Amino acid sequence: MKFHGTAHKYGRDIDTDVIIPARYLNTSVPEELAKHCMEDLDPEFVSKIEFGDILVAEENFGCGSSREHAPIAIKSAGVSVVIAKSFARIFYRNAINTGLPIMESPEAVEGISDGDEVEVDADAGTIVNVTRGETYRAQPFPPFVKEIIEKGGLIEAIKEKVSTR
């Protein structure tokens, strides 16, 4: 998987309540959720994002609630991949399960500034900052997790198990 876009950079502890406020959780329609993505943190977010852009954040991205509406909103808003120094654990699982690519790379987050042009090769685990001519390494997924991603998400991965029951 390869991605290419403009980086939009935010701080640490970006919680699921600002990613998608609970006042919109009376729906699970991805397009509806996308309209309000990050609005309490940055009301301009949705209008700034071009399809394929890259969300960059410091530590503990996605902390708080278990709402899967959060990765769904980010993905539907057009973000191709989230790069952070670390992810909150429920968000980490939810992103994998719903097919939102995420990468853990403290050095990339240090090196990337808001507005930089960035290229990501998720399989190779490399992040290239085109604007600055720098390359960073990301943590590879554990093989078990990679298998889920390769099968197209958790539901696809367990279909076989369900059909043999």
Partner 1 sequence: MPRPMTITEKILAAHAGLEGVEPGQLINCSLDIVLANDVTAPIAIREFRRTGAERVWDPERVALVPDHYTPNKDIKSAEQAKTMRDFASEQGISHYYEIGCMGVEHALLPEQGVVVPGDVIIGADSHTCTYGALGAFATGVGSTDAAAGMATGETWFKVPASIKFEVSGEFGEWVSGKDLILHIIGMIGVDGALYQAMEFTGPSIDSLGMDDRMTICNMAIEAGGKSGIIAVDDTTRAYVESRAERPWTEYASDPDAEYARIIEIDASALKPTVSFPHLPSNTRLAEESRDIWVDQVVIGSCTNGRLEDMRIAADVLKGRKAHDRVRLIIIPATQEVYRACIREGLTDIFLDANAAVSTPTCGPCLGGHMGVLAAGERAVATTNRNFVGRMGDPASEVYLSSPAVAAATAVAGHIAVPEDLE
CB of 101 to partner 1, least distance (A): 15
Q: Which is nearer to partner 1, 15 or 134 (CB)?
A: 15
Residue placing its CB nearer to partner 1 in the complex, 4 or 93: 93
Query: Which ranges constitute the DSSP H helices of 57-116?
Result: 69-76, 89-98, 106-111
Residue type, 124: A
Q: Which two tokens stand for residue 71?
A: 């990765």
| Residue closer to partner 1, measured from CB, 96 or 118 | 96
Q: Residues for the chain: how many in total?
A: 165
Instruction: Identify any residues that bridge with 42 across adjacent strands, giving them in sequence order.
Output: none
CB of 145 to partner 1, least distance (A): 8
Burial readout 54-88 (b: 16 or more C-beta within 10 A, e: otherwise): bbbbbbbbbbbbebbbbbbbbbbbbbbbbbbbbbb
Distance separating alpha carbons of residues 13 and 120, to the nearest angstrom: 23
- At its nearest, how many Å lie between partner 1 and the CB of residue 20? 11
Q: Given the rule CB under 8 A, which residues bind partner 1?
A: 13, 15, 17-18, 21-23, 25-28, 40-41, 59-60, 63-69, 71-72, 86, 88-90, 93-94, 97-98, 142, 144, 153-155, 158-159, 161-163, 165
- Shorter beta-carbon distance to partner 1: residue 8 or 85: 85
